[in-house]
Chains A and B, each alone.
Chain A
Amino acid sequence: MSKKFSIVGKEVIRQDGYAKVTGSAKFADDIIFTDMLFGVMVRTHVVHALIKNIDFSAIENNPALTTIITAEDIPGAKKVGPIKKDQPVFCYDKVVTSGDVLAMLVGKDESELRKLVDNVKIEYNELPVVTDPENALNDNTPLIHPENKTNLINHYPLLKGDVKKGFAESDYVIERRYTTSYQEHAYIEPETVIAYPFEGNNGIKVIGSIQNPYTARRVVSEVMGIPLADVRIEQAELGGSFGGKDDTMNILAARAAVAALKTGQPIKIKFGREESIIESYKRHPYRLNYKVGFNSDGKIKAMKIDILADGGAYASMSPFATWRTVVQATGPYEIENVETNVNAVYTNNPYTGAMRGFGSPQPIFAQESLMDEIAAELNISPLKVRTINGFKAGSITASGQKLDEHEVSFNKVLEKAGAESCFNVKWNKYRKENNKIDGNFIIKEKQKSNNFILNENQFIDPENTWRRGIGLSVSFRGCSLGAEGIDAVTAYLSLQPDGSIHLSCGLAENGQGLRTTFSIIVSEVLGIPIEDVHYLNLDTGHNSDSGPTVASRSTLMGGGAVQNASSILKERLKKVFYKYWNINKDCNLIFNSGLITYGNGNKKITFKELCSLAYNDDSNMSTLGLYAGPKVDWDEESGQGNAYFTYVYGCQVAEVSVNISTGEVYVNKVIAVHDAGTVINLLGSEGQVYGGVTQGAGFCLWEELNSEEGKIKELNFDQYLIPTCKDIDEIKPFFVEGNEKYGPWGAKSLGEPTLELTSAAIANAIFNATGVRYRNLPINLEEIILLRKLRPDNLKRGSA
Chain B
Amino acid sequence: MSHKIEFILNGKSVCINTNANRRLLDILREEFQLTGTKEGCSIGECGACTVLMNNKAVNSCLVLAGQVNGSEILTIEGVAKNGLHKLQENFLMAGAIQCGFCTPGVIMSSYALLLENSNPTEEEIKEAIAGNLCRCTGYKQIIKAIKDTIS
Q: Is any CB of A less than 8 Å from a CB of B in the complex? A: yes
Q: How far is the CA of A17 from the CA of B92 in the complex (A)?
A: 6
Contact string, B98-110, partner A, CB cutoff 8 A, digits 1/0?
A: 1111111001000
- CB pair B97–A188 under 8 Å, yes or no, is no
The total of interchain contacts (Cβ-Cβ below 8 angstroms) comes to: 171
The one of A29, A186, A273 in contact with B42, judged by C-beta atoms closer than 8 angstroms, is A273
User: Residue of A at shortest CB range from B127?
Assistant: A726
Instruction: State whether the Cβ of B66 lies closer than 8 Å to any Cβ in chain A.
Output: no
Q: How far is the CA of A634 from the CA of B100 in the complex (A)?
A: 39
Contact B93 A694 (CB under 8 A): no
What's the interface size class on A, roughly? 35 or more
Q: Please determine whether B135 and A22 come into contact, CB atoms closer than 8 angstroms.
A: no
Q: In angstroms, how far is the closest chain B Cβ from the Cβ of A283?
A: 14
CB of A718 within 8 A of CB of B43, answer yes
CB proximity of A355 to chain B, nearest CB, Å:
12
Considering only residues 111-151 of chain B, those with a C-beta below 8 Å from chain A are 126-127, 129-143
Closest residue on chain B to residue A754 by CB atoms: B138
**A722–B133 CB distance below 8 A:** yes
A121 proximal to B (CB < 8 A): no
- Please tell me which one of the listed residues B34, B131, B136, B140 contacts residue A23 in the complex, with CB atoms under 8 A apart: B34
Cβ-defined contact, B76 with A22, below 8 A: yes
Taking CB atoms and an 8 Å cut-off, the chain A residues in 1-50 that contact chain B are 11, 13-14, 16-27, 29-30, 32
Most B Cβ at <10 Å: residue of A17, A27, A511: A17
Which of A22, A29, A684 contacts B80, CB < 8 Å?
A22
Query: In the bound complex, what is the Cα–Cα distance between A691 and B75 (angstroms)?
Result: 26
Chain A, residues 336-362, CB within 8 Å of chain B (1/0): the string is: 000000000000000000000000000
Q: Inside 8 A of B99's CB, which chain A residues have their CB?
A: 187-189, 237-241, 510-511
A686 to chain B, nearest CB (A): 7
Closest to B143 in A: A725
Give Cα A26 to B100, complex, Å. Answer: 10
B138 and A731 contact, CB distance less than 8 A: yes
A26 lies within 8 A of B95 (CB): no
B35 at the interface (CB under 8 A from A): yes
* A293 at the binding interface (Cβ < 8 Å): no
Please name the 7 residue pairs, one residue from A and one from B, whose CB atoms are nearest each other, closest first: A23-B36, A511-B99, A239-B101, A20-B100, A690-B138, A23-B76, A694-B138
User: A511, B141: Cβ atoms under 8 Å?
Assistant: no
B80 & A240 in contact (Cβ 8 Å cutoff):
no
Q: Which residues of B contact A272 (CB under 8 A)?
A: 42
Q: Given known contacts A22-B88, A239-B99, A691-B98, is B126 in contact with A187 (CB within 8 Å)?
A: no
Assess whether B37 is interfacial by the CB under 8 Å rule. Answer: yes
Contact among A27, A187, A188, A694 with B139 in the assembled complex (CB-CB below 8 Å): A694
Considering the chains assembled together, what is the distance between the CA atoms of A716 and B61 in angstroms? 14
In whole angstroms, how far apart are the Cα atoms of A240 and B93 in the complex?
21
Establish whether residues A239 and B100, one from each chain, have CB atoms under 8 Å apart when the complex forms. yes
Q: Which of B98, B126, B135 contacts A186 (CB 8 A)?
A: B135
A66 to B91 CA separation, bound complex (whole angstroms)? 44
| A717 interfacial contact with B, CB 8 Å | yes
Determine the distance from Cα of A272 to Cα of B34 in the docked complex, in whole angstroms: 19
Let me know if A23 and B101 touch, CB within 8 A. no
The answer to whether the Cβ of A595 comes within 8 Å of any Cβ in the partner chain is no
A690/B97 contact (C-beta < 8 A), A188-B102, A272-B42 known: no
Contact A686 to B141, CB < 8 A, known contacts A21-B88, A240-B99: yes
Q: Which residues of chain B have C-beta atoms less than 8 A from A14's C-beta? A: 92, 95, 97
Residues of chain B within 8 A (CB-CB) of A21 are 84, 88, 91-92, 97, 100, 103-104, 107
B61-96 Cβ-contact flags toward A at 8 Å (1 or 0): 000000000000001110110001000100111110
Asked whether A695 lies within 8 Å of B135 as measured between CB atoms, the reply is yes
Chain A residue with the shortest CB-CB distance to B89: A21
Return the CB mask of A250-278 against B: 1 if under 8 Å, else 0.
00000000000000000000001100000
Q: How far, in Å, is B88 (CB) from chain A's closest CB? A: 4
Complex Cα spacing A25 to B140, Å: 22
Docked Cα-Cα span, A356 to B102, in Å, equals 19
Q: Is A318 an interface residue (CB 8 A)?
A: no
Q: Are A17 and B133 in contact (CB under 8 A)?
A: no
Shortest distance from the beta carbon of A106 to any chain B beta carbon, whole Å: 19
Contact of B92 with A13 in the complex, beta carbons under 8 Å:
yes
Q: Which residues of B contact A273 (CB under 8 A)?
A: 40-43, 46
* Alpha-carbon distance A26/B99, docked complex (angstroms): 11
Q: For chain B residues 1-56, which have a beta carbon within 8 Å of chain A?
A: 29, 33-43, 45-46, 48
13 A–B pairs (Cβ distance < 8 Å), ordered by A: A13-B93, A14-B92, A18-B84, A20-B103, A21-B104, A188-B38, A189-B99, A241-B99, A273-B40, A512-B136, A691-B136, A717-B46, A724-B131
Quick check: is A687 within 8 A (CB to CB) of the other chain? yes
**Interface flag for A683 (CB, 8 Å):** yes
Is residue A127 within 8 Å, beta carbon to beta carbon, of the partner chain?
no
Q: Point out the residue from A17, A30, A726 that lies within 8 Å of B97, measured CB to CB.
A: A17
List 19 other contacts, CB 8 Å, given A187-B101, A189-B99.
Answer: A13-B92, A18-B84, A19-B100, A22-B77, A24-B77, A27-B38, A29-B35, A30-B29, A188-B134, A188-B135, A189-B40, A190-B39, A239-B100, A241-B99, A722-B133, A724-B130, A724-B133, A725-B130, A725-B132
Are the C-beta atoms of B88 and A190 separated by less than 8 Å? no
Inter-subunit contact B137/A240 (CB<8 Å): no
Name the residue on B nearest A733 (C-beta): B140
B97 CB, min distance to chain A CBs, angstroms: 5
The answer for the CA separation of A731 and B143 in the assembled complex, in Å, is: 12
Decide if A23 touches B104 in the complex (CB within 8 Å). Answer: yes
Chain B positions within 8 Å of A292 at CB level: none
Residues of B within 8 A of A242 (CB): 135
Residue A513 at the chain B interface, CB threshold 8 Å: yes
Q: How far is the CA of A731 from the CA of B126 in the complex (A)?
A: 15
Partner among B35, B91, B93, B126 whose Cβ is within 8 Å of the Cβ of A726: B126
Residue A651, interface by CB 8 Å: no
Interchain nearest-CB distance for B138 vs A (Å): 3
Nearest Cβ in chain B — how far from A692, in angstroms? 8
Residues of B within 8 A of A17 (CB): 91-92, 97, 100
A726 cross-chain contacts in B, Cβ below 8 A: 126-127, 130
Q: Which residues of A contact B142 (CB under 8 A)?
A: 725
Would you call A716 and B45 a contact (CB within 8 A)? yes
Tell me which residues across on chain A come within 8 A of B102, comparing CB atoms.
Answer: 188
A189 contacts B38, C-beta separation under 8 Å: yes
Considering only CB atoms, which chain B residue lies closest to A189 in the complex?
Answer: B101
The CA of A741 and the CA of B131, in the complex, are separated in Å by 44
B139: chain A residues within 8 A (beta carbon): 690, 694, 724-725
Interface pair A687/B98, CB less than 8 Å apart: yes
Chain A CB within 10 Å, residue with most, of B34, B75, B132, B134: B134
A442 within 8 A of B: no
CA A690 to CA B143, docked complex, whole Å: 12
- Could you tell me the distance between the alpha carbons of A718 and B140 in the complex, rounded to whole angstroms? 23
Q: Which of A683, A692, A717 contacts B133 (CB 8 A)?
A: A717
Decide yes or no whether A693 CB sits under 8 A from chain B: yes
CB pair A24 B36 closer than 8 Å: yes
Q: Which chain B residues lie closer than 8 Å to A19 at the CB level?
A: 100
In Å, the complex CA distance between A185 and B133 comes to 13
CB A413 to nearest CB in B, in angstroms, measures 20
Min CB distance, B67 to chain A, in Å?
Answer: 19
Question: Which B residue sits closest to A25, measured CB to CB?
Answer: B100
A568 close to chain B: CB less than 8 A: no
